[in-house]
Structures are given as C-alpha cells and as structure tokens.
Amino acid sequence: MTFFGEEDIDVMLAESPTQATIGGVTASVIVTRVGEDLLGGAGMHVQATRILLTAKTGQFPALRPGADVVIGTATYVATDVKRSGDGALSEALCEIAP
C-alpha cells in the first residue's frame, strides 16, 4: 500500500539520529519522551516518563505489545502499538524493561 507523502516519511526518518532494534531489525525512528501522571491529589504529584517511538508502518514486523525495543544501550518494552493518521506511521508507547 502506498501512502500520501510516503517519500517525506523516508526523508524524515533518514534525518533522525536515533536507531532502534526490534526483532533483529535496526532502523531510524523518532523518539519522544512523554510524561504520564501516576498519582495526583492533595498536593502530591507523581509522574513517570515513557518513550513514544514513531516508525514507518511495516518497518519492524515484530513491533507489537510486549516486544523488546532497544534504543542505544537501553531496553524498553512496547506496551501499546497503534497506527497514526492515515496508517503510514506507527507509534509504540514503551517503558523501561524490568
């Protein structure tokens, strides 16, 4: 399947300095740190940081919830995977591996 602007996605990912390895496949990705509220109320606020990985759909066949995601020297676990927009990009919410 071809997506509108797919060539732009290839250029955008090629310019990213971040590489991820999932299921033995290594490729460029975009990584965003996302804050998530864990506890709140009565003047107390606890927040965790998770990783949002954005990759071209189909680039990582093994990308699914529970998959190990290696970025640099850190290993994360994908907890939620979904397609974004028209489906040309996939996003995976990841947390540090136990």
59 CB burial (10 A radius; 0-12, 13-18, 19+): middle
pLDDT digits (tens, 9 = 90+) for 7-22: 677 777 777 789 999 9
**Angle, vertex CA 23, rays to CA 19 and CA 27, nearest 5:** 25
- The structural architecture, per CATH, of the domain 6-96 is Beta Barrel (2.40)
* pTM listed for this prediction: 0.76
pLDDT digits (tens, 9 = 90+) for 14-55: 777 899 999 999 999 989 888 777 666 677 667 677 899 999
